[in-house]
Amino acid sequence: MCCLRQLFLVSLGVTAWALHESDVGMVDWNTKLIGVPHDSPHTAPVFHGDYVLAATNNNVLAALNATDGSIVWRSIYDAEDPIMAFSHHDNSVSSLSGPGGSTLRTYDLETGHLILEKQLHNPVDGRLHEPQNLGISLLRSTNLSLNSTAYFALTNGDSVTHLDETGDTLWTWNSPDQGSLVLYSHLIADPSTVYLVGLAKSFASYTLHVTTLSATTGELIASVNIPANIKDERSKFVAVSSQTGPTTTTCVNWLEDGALKAAVLTPDLKGQIMALPGVKYDRISDFGLSTNGQFLAIKEGGAAHVMHFDAQAYSLRPIWEFGDAAPSQVQSDSHFVGSLGRDGQPRVARVYWSNAHNKAIHQTLTINLSEGKASASGFAFPFQTFDHGVVRHVAFDGSSTGETHENTRTLLTTTTGSIQLWQHDKMQWVREEALASIQVAEFVELPEKKVVMSHAVMDEEGYFERLQRQLSDAKNLPQYLANFARRFATGSYATVTTSAASSSAEDTLTRDAFGFRQIIVAATPYGKLFGIDSSNGRVLWSRVLGLGWAAKVGGTIFPTKMFVTRTVSDPEGPQIVLVTQRRADNSLVDTVLFHVNALTGDDVREEHQSIPRDLLQGLDAVMGPLVDVFMLPNENRTIVMLDEYLQARLYPDTPSAQAEFESFVPSIHLALRTDVPGQRQILGHQLTLNLELSQFYVAYPTWSLSLPPKEEIRAIIPNTRGPVASIGKVLGNRMTLYKYLNPHLTLVLTSSPPSSTLVPAAGGVCDMQATLTENWLVYHYFDDEFSGTGESKGNRVVSVEFYEGDGPDDKTKSSELSSYSNKTLHISAYEQSFIMPHGITAISPTLTKFGVSMKDIIVANRKNSIQSIPRRLLNPRRPKHKPTSEEQEEMLVQYDAVLPDDARLVLSHNYEVATSAVSLPLHLLLESTSLVFVYGLDLFFTRIAPSGTFDVLSENFNKVQLLLTACWACGLRLWLTKPMVRRKWLRERWY
């Protein structure tokens, strides 16, 4: 019976246009991403055969095909389960994730199928370290004699767990001090002994502490402190191992007052400390060959030594020196990475940028340990730094290196978030993984094709050229008429279910018949701006954002807001302004604007139009952080920024912009967070104007929302109101509920659980995902407590509608009320809670040009799909009894606590879409249709018609029959009216 009820609800409630299987790939597209890889040694990208393994900032463990860059498989981890480390072995990949490395997982290398999952400790018991993966290590070893595989996991910095290949725990060892005095960070194992190396606290510095355990039983063998005076955090220590036959010898290396010291470890930890005299080093580091006995030592002058530990001779010596590794005006800092060749000998790659050659340089050091020889060779490759920023990390495939370097494969991760694979001096593929972290995105309309052609003709054609073109067009007129007749007869016009992609990839950027093809301008926190074709997801252009003066000290640019300041109707063409916060490495924060052409990505500011296309330079608009920013709904679309002193700054700052802003000042309302000592508040403010000083201040608080001391404010979201088609809702009894459209209605997201008591001035207090449009509030949260009514835990979606007065026909004209009127609190609210089968990661309402179409809710759920929930199902006035005749006239259906998980509500079809944000354009040529752009990790684009495509003829509409019917009606009218007209003419002649 319950299933029948849900089926009935869906049949009544589902009015959204759904995709058919034949439409997949025609009106939607999906781009799967993995995110920007970590550069930590535990999680950085590595080559493993023809695979590239990486853990990313989006908490994804993935395997890429090194040949074409495609995703072989990926595993998306939850936000509360961050990836700490991973390792590869033969045909599997293992990872430690969660607080302190609480969970071990193993995947099949080729398919990504989960083979093993084991919780090593409760995530609640995970300890916080800095960096986050400090004290975590994963080692997988194979016993050839027993033909078995074992795991050794170091977690929490003080616990070691030994597991067999099935995941059964063989033994566990915990440090006696539980990490209070010693924090272990390195784990090395041989068939008989497990070595733990870490730092022990002392009064003035750190000392080394080593513990050895039995590999078979986990019993403590020895635990000693090694006298070491480690002060510099950059140096710390490096633990290397070298295998001689069946045994493995471990050596710990550290710097003490610039001198390199080493200690060879034995199971009983009885030995002496060695020192390398005569050379002062600045730092040492592991570059990927620590299990082969090599590490890197950097001298104070910048020269780099490749050090080698000889296990047979118990000696430590440099085997090669890169004398020119110091950064200078001629070259950048160098990236060193090691790998083993096909012959098992070590290979060292060095990559740096050369200002003299304006290219990147790749040097390869080939080491022959058996002969005690080494040789270096190199080549240059054309890395485009203006398009991809600076190289941040390098991975090197040592097995691809030969004598000619033609097959040498190098993987680069750049500061702009791109992943590139180079084979010698040819780039094989590139992945723009910064798109997995889009912060802000806006749709920009494209011009019509005839408008683009007319501009080209006006700028380039003369009189005779124009005359020749018009004669040519007249010559082609019969062909145009024939094509029109063919399309009319066959019905082959563009429809809403046809692809909006252009016929040619090189075609001019013009819109399609219905305006579905637009440009999506997206900004990422990696300092890059993208222009994406909404018809196919292709990147049309990209620009790297310049740091300005902060380029000398370093910094990061974080996008805040994006505004479309010019549209296709403007002579300048469509333009956007990106508002960012620039955080320099010297802790200074500025507000920077970037003003670009949305079609090409070119800078439209006059002072930068003559500069060659390199880095996109911005305007330092505010010397300090930004409190709020918005755009005036005027012709010039002036941008207003509020600085930390609550003063308004305008862009463009012109007399006309100031005059227009003065006219809007009385009607501007905004909510700002105000931290008062002892009491934190959110205040609704109104702008005031000082004409004498030509300054604008935020003043006059109109309402306040006080928060408890422990309350955390997550976000302040204004009302995302589009055009309002109607201000009221007519009920079945012919009475009217008038919408509460007060401009003060603001949504405040806090850290507290949702409350059924909503604050009218603030629009409600809720948690997690929420949206507010017109008078409709929808929010989602996870209920982790059993309620008093017996309801169990689960994902809740709450729908709230606000209306004026105490009930129907009570009208207060809320949109016209002053902020000081007592009627602002005179509202009535209808609220209802529903249960969602899956958690929600993003939520957004549909918006249309005139607001006539029904507003549905688009949600991205944790099942990695995009759903459209009709407003009928979320109507808070759904009765809990059988609907009466009046309620049926309003098309209300009986309340059901569980929202149906119906496949017809899924917009993403069979795509896997992991995302965290939904964006929809407001102005389209069709009122019935909205474009949906989903971003977060994956990119997804589709169309939706909540009320059906009522403003477009159906695809099977018979146009020939319409023409014949119209001709028959006209002929019948002429036959009937012809005698009447003749009699009228005859009468006029007589009289």
Per-residue pLDDT of 887-906, as tens digits, reads 888 889 999 999 988 888 88
Whether 212 contacts 196, CB under 8 Å: yes
Query: 470 in a domain, yes or no?
Result: no
Residues 741, 831 within the same domain: yes
Residues 729, 832 within the same domain: yes
Helix (H) / strand (E) containing 970: helix 959-990
Whether 624 contacts 615, CB under 8 Å: no
Helix (H) / strand (E) containing 968: helix 959-990
Query: Does residue 787 surpass a pLDDT of 60?
Result: no
Residues 854, 755 within the same domain: no
In 63-105, which residue ranges form alpha helices assigned H by DSSP? Answer: none
Query: 90 in a domain, yes or no?
Result: no
Whether 281 contacts 331, CB under 8 Å: no
Give the least confident one: 54-63, 199-208, 319-328.
199-208
Q: What is the pLDDT of residues 401-410, one digit of tens each?
A: 877 778 899 9
What are the φ and ψ backbone dihedral angles of 549, each rounded to 5 degrees? Answer: -65, -25
Pairing of strands 915-919, 930-936: antiparallel
Query: 794 in a domain, yes or no?
Result: yes
Please give the share of the chain, as a percent, with pLDDT higher than 90. 35
Residues 804, 756 within the same domain: yes
Provide the 3-class DSSP secondary structure of residue 105. Answer: strand
Q: What is the pLDDT of residues 95-113, one digit of tens each?
A: 999 999 999 999 999 999 9
Whether 976 contacts 64, CB under 8 Å: no
Residues 809, 846 within the same domain: no
Burial 855-880 (b: 16+ CB within 10 A, else e): bbbbbbbebbbbbbbbbbbbbbbbee
Pairing of strands 857-861, 866-869: antiparallel
CA neighbor of 267 nearest in space, from 209, 208, 194:
194
Query: Does residue 165 surpass a pLDDT of 50?
Result: yes
Whole-number Cα distances in Å, 833 to 14, 251, 910: 19, 62, 29
Confidence of residue 506 (pLDDT cuts 50, 70, 90): very low
Question: What is the model's pLDDT at position 466?
Answer: 67
Confidence of residue 363 (pLDDT cuts 50, 70, 90): very high
Query: 945 in a domain, yes or no?
Result: yes
Whether 337 contacts 398, CB under 8 Å: no
Question: What is the model's pLDDT at position 202?
Answer: 75
Return the structure tokens found at 598: 């949305």
Query: 806 in a domain, yes or no?
Result: yes
Burial 113-148 (b: 16+ CB within 10 A, else e): eebeebebbebeebbebeeebbbbbbbbbeeeeeee
* Tokens 């689960």 sit on residue: 794
CA neighbor of 926 nearest in space, from 520, 511, 600:
511
Query: Does residue 247 surpass a pLDDT of 80?
Result: no
d(CA 799, CA 830): 8
Q: What is the pLDDT of residues 554-580, one digit of tens each?
A: 999 999 999 999 887 788 889 999 999
Query: 925 in a domain, yes or no?
Result: yes
d(CA 332, CA 321): 18
Specify the higher pLDDT residue, 116 or 707: 116
Query: Does residue 596 surpass a pLDDT of 90?
Result: yes
Whether 485 contacts 479, CB under 8 Å: no
Helix (H) / strand (E) containing 776: strand 776-783
Q: What is the pLDDT of residues 248-265, one digit of tens each?
A: 888 999 988 888 999 999
Residues 928, 868 within the same domain: yes
* Tokens 């919780």 sit on residue: 119
Residues 722, 810 within the same domain: yes
Answer with the one of 810, 836, 862 that is the final residue of a domain. Answer: 836
Instruction: Give pTM, 2 decimals.
Output: 0.86
Question: What is the model's pLDDT at position 11?
Answer: 46
Question: What is the model's pLDDT at position 760?
Answer: 35
Residues 764, 846 within the same domain: no
d(CA 579, CA 560): 6
Confidence of residue 882 (pLDDT cuts 50, 70, 90): very high
Compute, in degrees rounded to 10, the torsion defined by CA atoms 586, 587, 593, 599: 70
- Identify each DSSP E strand in 862-989 by its residue range: 866-869, 915-919, 930-936, 939-944
Pairing of strands 346-354, 169-174: unpaired
Query: 476 in a domain, yes or no?
Result: no
Residues 782, 868 within the same domain: no
What is the 3-class SS of 669-725, one letter each residue? EEEEEEEECCEEEEEEEEEEEECCCCEEEEEEEEEEEEECCCCCEEEEEECCCCCCC
Q: How many domains does the chain have?
A: 2
d(CA 561, CA 978): 66
Whether 534 contacts 516, CB under 8 Å: yes
Question: What is the model's pLDDT at position 27?
Answer: 76
**Residues in a beta bridge with 216:** none
Longest pairwise C-alpha distance within the chain: 136
409: amino acid identity, one letter: R
Residues 751, 832 within the same domain: yes
Question: What is the model's pLDDT at position 61?
Answer: 96
Whether 188 contacts 239, CB under 8 Å: yes
Whether 917 contacts 932, CB under 8 Å: no
Q: What is the pLDDT of residues 793-813, one digit of tens each?
A: 788 899 999 998 888 988 888
Q: What would you report as the CA-atom Rg of the chain, rounded to the nearest whole angstrom?
A: 34
CA neighbor of 214 nearest in space, from 194, 186, 190, 196:
194
Whole-number Cα distances in Å, 552 to 360, 548, 585: 21, 8, 10
Compute, in degrees rounded to 10, the torsion defined by CA atoms 969, 975, 979, 985: 70
Residues 738, 825 within the same domain: yes
CA atoms within 13 A on the CB side of 878: 22
Whether 133 contacts 42, CB under 8 Å: yes
What average pLDDT does range 237-249 have in this prediction? Answer: 82
Query: Does residue 542 surpass a pLDDT of 80?
Result: yes
Confidence of residue 457 (pLDDT cuts 50, 70, 90): very low
Confidence of residue 72 (pLDDT cuts 50, 70, 90): very high
Query: Does residue 679 surpass a pLDDT of 90?
Result: no
d(CA 309, CA 265): 12
Whole-number Cα distances in Å, 555 to 416, 527, 544, 786: 13, 10, 14, 47
Return the structure tokens found at 568: 């296709």
Angle value at C-alpha 539, between 537 and 543, nearest 5 degrees: 145
Inter-axis angle of helices 477-490 and 959-990, nearest 10: 110
Query: 10 in a domain, yes or no?
Result: yes
Query: Does residue 745 surpass a pLDDT of 90?
Result: no
Question: What is the model's pLDDT at position 485?
Answer: 62
Confidence of residue 597 (pLDDT cuts 50, 70, 90): very high
Q: Which residues span the domain enclosing 768? A: 712-836
Provide the 3-class DSSP secondary structure of residue 546. Answer: coil
* Non-local CB neighbours of 480 within 8 Å, separated by 6+ positions: none
CA neighbor of 719 nearest in space, from 763, 653, 688:
763
Provide the 3-class DSSP secondary structure of residue 482. Answer: helix
301: amino acid identity, one letter: G
d(CA 574, CA 600): 10
Confidence of residue 1 (pLDDT cuts 50, 70, 90): very low
367: amino acid identity, one letter: I
Provide the 3-class DSSP secondary structure of residue 974. Answer: helix
Residues 847, 802 within the same domain: no
